[in-house]
Structure 1
């Protein structure tokens, strides 16, 4: 069972999620193309593109979470959902969203602890760039927090659906 694409306009958080993940993807592409041209044409390299692309991949992954959740892009067990009535679907959605919120909130809290620990210890990547690790780790906090906001909105929507 497929549903039609969501036609509503993007809200501010969805736009931020879209733009941040898109910018990371564009930067990844530019870095890879630059590396290909440097290696193929000039027999040279940036030496750091693999590290930077790795950080940007984390950005794409975490920044896109909020948009994917709000647009229903994550996998669902349709076989179960199609057997439920409207009330069952509403209860199922609420339970799933509350459990997801709890898990992401706990994970986000640990991400924050992780970033603070890296910042306090002045931890850096063991690479020539010596990137302070709190910088790419902060992306995980931002992405997870954006997802939490979207999940909170979904829970409110689920409660409204149950009330009606």
Structure 2
């Protein structure tokens, strides 16, 4: 398999993975909005009619954990995880890619450990039929399983970022790999925003009103 074939294969996998992550984020975002309405309705019903739909806070807690796991993958694609780049910004490109790789490997080790124990917890809950100690008596394997899927997706996304970074370091480049592997510097972000404002001056004037 030649270099172009490898490049195209990796780019295709990364592109499909990004679409899947975006779909998961939209689904979880919609679920969080529904939960917010449920909690709001529950608060109003308790205050005005002294009744409660019950379990709104419990369901909200489940979806907060599930959506956070999926959002972690989306955030990795957007390079929005918090990190200190004082040294990173002062290194040559090769050194920056090396630090990126080390950071991703550390992230992989952390997420892999969390996913490992989450899987053990899910297997125990499923085997014993554990239920939440709440009025809903929720089978715990359901929210734990959805959370585990989100963690697994984060682990896969981290693996893809590692592969993309190694590929870029080895000269295997494509828009998909570059977007996932290379984080723009703050100066690049400022320049992009300036170009956007210059391209859409009407939009920028609306935002400043």
TM-score bucket of the superposed structures, by smaller chain: 0.7 to 0.9
Q: How far apart, CA to CA, are the structure 2 residues paired with 1:64 and 1:24? A: 13
Q: Is the 8 A contact 1:108 1:141 kept in 2?
A: yes
Q: Is the 8 A contact 1:111 1:141 kept in 2?
A: yes
User: Superposition pairs for residues 119-158 of structure 1, below 5 Å?
Assistant: 119-158=126-165
The match for 2:57 is 50
Match of 1:107 among 80, 101, 114: 114
Q: Is the 8 A contact 2:39 2:56 kept in 1?
A: yes
SS at match of 2:86: helix
User: Superposition pairs for residues 31-70 of structure 1, below 5 Å?
Assistant: 31-70=38-77
Which structure would you say has the larger RCO, counting Cα contacts within 8 Å and 6 or more residues apart? 1
Q: Does 1:117 align with 2:121?
A: no
Structure having the larger proportion of residues in helix = 2
TM-score, structure 1 normalization: 0.87
The match for 2:99 is 92
Q: Which has the larger radius of gyration?
A: 2
Q: How far apart, CA to CA, are the structure 2 residues paired with 1:44 and 1:37? A: 9
Q: Is the 8 A contact 1:93 1:158 kept in 2?
A: yes
Q: Describe the superposition over 1:106-143 as per-residue Cα deviations: whole angstroms up to 9, x where unpaired.
A: 22122111101011111101111110111111122111
Q: How far apart, CA to CA, are the structure 1 residues paired with 2:52 and 2:114? A: 37
Q: Describe the superposition over 1:71-122 as per-residue Cα deviations: whole angstroms up to 9, x where unpaired.
A: 1111021212112110111000111111211221222122111101011111
SS at match of 2:97: helix
SS at match of 1:107: helix
User: Which moves more between the two structures, 96-105 or 114-123?
Assistant: 96-105
Could you tell me which runs of 5 or more consecutive residues in structure 2 were left unpaired when the two chains were aligned. Answer: 1-14, 172-209
User: Which moves more between the two structures, 67-76 or 22-31?
Assistant: 22-31
Give the aligned CA root-mean-square deviation in angstroms.
1.9
